[in-house]
Each structure stands twice: as structure tokens, then as C-alpha cells.
């Protein structure tokens, strides 16, 4: 039986992480282990989590030297799972999620097929409703236009913001997977060591989509299972959910979306040119 590692990134909110881990431990019909990465918490998170699971062979609690952000923090867990535990699949879930379906992992694995890089699922919110499908701009030059739109909005350049908004009306968004639960397949992990590591927070979903597209991999949306997501718990500890701080983090990350989408754009142009020769 192929093995799965469930990687959970903790930052300060050990109570939520404990609830999350306990829900994972109820999973059935699958071989799995849990890797909890404490991402440099300044409170007692690591000590409490390590003490709670020190006798549980299914749970591994490790500690990062500092807060590396979402992608790099998860990458620490991915590398531990792949090298130390020799797992085939890696499921990344937010610490403020709860697996309410005891066959959640098994169901995700049933959607693995040829050229599938990542599998996601339905997300159930506190309201009890399903999270709406997530659409984003993923193609260059639309990503650049949107970046200028965000910049002009943040700095109050109204004329430029209105111009970019007008240009965006004619541009198409693509559906991508929500970032609260991703099953990374062996095919993905053969192409990449982990998530795109240059961001600190936000836009990881778009970058994952762009990386998959570059490698010729598909993202699959499993509609026959779901995970409960409490939402915004980590950002509450990080910057108290202040909108201005969040906007700056998003802009810092989005410049990498522009760059990576540009690389995909140039790759396509070069391949098209070579076919014409």
C-alpha cells in the first residue's frame, strides 16, 4: 500500500492544530503518518505539541528555527516526509481544518490518474456552505495588468486603476484549487521538491497552478469529499488580519506570479516558434 504523509503547518495556534491532528488520526482505509511543522512559534506551541504526541508513532512534530512563511514552512514538512518517512503522497492541510470524512484521504487517492499533479476537494466553511470555486488570472500578460491594478489601488492612483480595470474586463480567469488542502502526487514530487518557495504568504494557489501547467500536470477537483475549514486563524496570529498588511503581503507574492507566468508565456512562444521552423 502506498504511504501518505499529512503535513500540518502550525504557527502559534496549537489548539487548532491539536484538533486538526486528532481528526486526521481517525482516517480509515489508508496508510498515513502526520508531520506537524511548528513554524517558529513564539509561544509554547512546539513544547505542547511534541509532548502531546511523543508516544504516538503516527505523529512527528518538528520545529523550524523561525517563521519561514507558508510555502517554505510546508516544504520543511514535505522534505521530512519524503526523506525520513519515505512517503509516496503528501497531503498539505491548514491547521485550522478538520477532516469530517473518515475516508477523506482514501477518496483523494482514488482521483489519482495519469499526469495528475495535485488533488483538492470541496471546502466547507463555518456557515456550513461550500466554499465557492476559486478563479484567478494565471496567464501573462493578464497577470501583469492585474499587478498594476493592485499597485495603483494600494497607492490611490485612481486613473491608472480604472484603466487596468477596464483592460481586465476582457480577460479570462481560470479555476484553481483552494489552498487549505492539497494532495501532492508522486508525479508532482518528481517534477518539484515542494511548493514555490520565494513567497512568504498568499498567492501560493496561483503559483501551484502555474508550476503544474509548466510541467504538463493536471489539477483535479474531488467533489465527492470535503474538509471543514475555520478560515483565517493563522493570519489572525500573524498580523491580526489587518487589511493593509495583508495587501502588502499579497503584492509581494504577486510579483512572483507575474514572473512565473511570464516564464510560461515565453516557453510557449519558443515552442511555437520552433514548430514553425
- pLDDT of the residue at 243: 63
In this predicted structure, the answer to whether residue 237 has a pLDDT above a threshold of 70 is no
Mean pLDDT (the chain) is 94
Which one has a higher pLDDT value, 237 or 94?
Answer: 94
pLDDT at 235 over 70: no
Q: pTM of the full predicted structure? A: 0.93
Interval 164-190 mean pLDDT: 97
Using 50, 70 and 90 to split pLDDT, how confident is the model at 239?
Answer: low
Would you say 111 and 71 are in contact if contact means Cβ atoms under 8 Å apart? no
Q: How many whole angstroms separate alpha carbon 105 and alpha carbon 110?
A: 9
- The number of angstroms, rounded, from the C-alpha of 213 to the middle of its chain's C-alpha atoms is 16
Has residue 236 got a pLDDT over 80? no
Task: Give the tens place of pLDDT for each residue, 74-95.
Answer: 999 999 999 999 999 999 999 9
Which residues share a beta bridge with 130? 124
Predicted local distance difference test score (pLDDT) of residue 114: 95
pLDDT band at 1 (very low <50, low <70, confident <90, very high): confident
% of the chain beyond a pLDDT of 70:
95
Mean per-residue pLDDT, 147-172 = 95
Q: Which long-range contacts (CB under 8 A, 24 or more apart) does 245-253 make?
A: 246/202, 247/150, 247/154, 248/154, 249/200, 249/201, 249/202, 250/150, 250/202, 250/203, 251/147, 251/150, 251/151, 251/154, 252/199, 252/200, 253/199, 253/200, 253/201, 253/202, 253/203, 253/204, 253/207
**3-state class of 48 per DSSP?**
helix
What confidence category does residue 232 fall into, taking pLDDT thresholds of 50, 70 and 90?
low
Q: Kindly state the average pLDDT of the residues 213-230.
A: 97
157 against 275, higher pLDDT: 157
Range from 157-161, 261-265, 269-273 carrying the lowest mean pLDDT: 269-273
Q: What is the reported pLDDT for 96? A: 97
pLDDT score of 275: 77
Mean pLDDT of the region 126-137: 95
Domains, in order of start, for the chain: 3-131+178-232 (3.90.550.10), 139-172+242-277 (no CATH)
Amino acid at each position: 500500500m502506498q504511504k501518505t504523509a499529512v503535513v500540518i503547518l502550525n504557527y502559534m495556534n496549537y489548539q487548532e492544530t491539536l484538533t486538526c491532528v486528532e481528526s486526521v488520526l481517525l482516517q480509515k482505509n489508508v496508510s498515513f503518518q502526520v508531520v506537524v511543522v511548528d513554524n517558529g512559534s513564539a509561544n509554547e506551541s512546539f513544547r505542547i505539541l511534541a509532548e502531546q504526541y511523543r508516544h504516538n508513532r503516527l505523529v512527528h512534530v518538528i520545529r523550524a528555527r523561525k517563521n519561514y512563511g507558508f510555502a517554505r514552512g510546508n516544504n520543511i514538512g514535505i522534505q521530512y516526509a519524503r526523506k525520513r518517512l519515505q512517503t509516496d503522497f503528501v497531503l498539505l492541510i491548514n491547521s485550522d481544518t478538520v477532516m469530517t470524512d473518515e475516508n477523506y484521504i482514501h477518496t483523494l487517492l482514488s482521483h489519482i490518474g495519469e499526469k495528475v499533479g495535485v488533488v483538492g476537494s470541496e471546502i466547507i466553511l463555518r456557515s456550513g456552505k461550500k466554499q465557492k470555486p476559486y478563479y484567478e488570472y494565471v496567464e501573462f500578460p493578464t497577470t501583469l495588468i492585474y499587478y498594476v491594478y493592485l499597485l495603483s489601488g494600494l497607492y490611490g492612483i485612481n486613473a491608472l486603476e480604472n484603466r487596468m480595470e477596464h483592460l481586465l474586463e476582457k480577460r479570462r480567469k481560470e479555476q484553481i484549487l483552494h489552498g487549505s488542502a492539497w494532495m501532492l502526487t508522486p508525479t508532482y514530487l518528481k517534477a518539484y521538491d515542494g511548493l514555490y518557495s520565494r513567497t512568504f504568504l498568499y498567492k501560493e494557489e496561483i503559483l501551484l497552478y502555474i508550476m503544474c501547467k509548466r510541467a504538463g500536470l493536471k489539477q483535479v477537483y474531488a467533489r465527492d469529499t470535503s474538509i471543514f475549514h475555520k478560515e483565517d486563524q493563522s493570519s489572525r496570529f500573524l498580523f491580526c488580519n489587518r487589511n493593509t498588511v495583508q495587501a502588502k503581503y499579497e503584492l509581494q507574492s504577486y510579483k512572483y506570479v507575474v514572473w512565473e507566468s511570464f516564464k510560461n508565456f515565453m516557453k510557449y512562444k519558443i515552442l511555437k516558434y520552433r514548430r514553425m521552423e
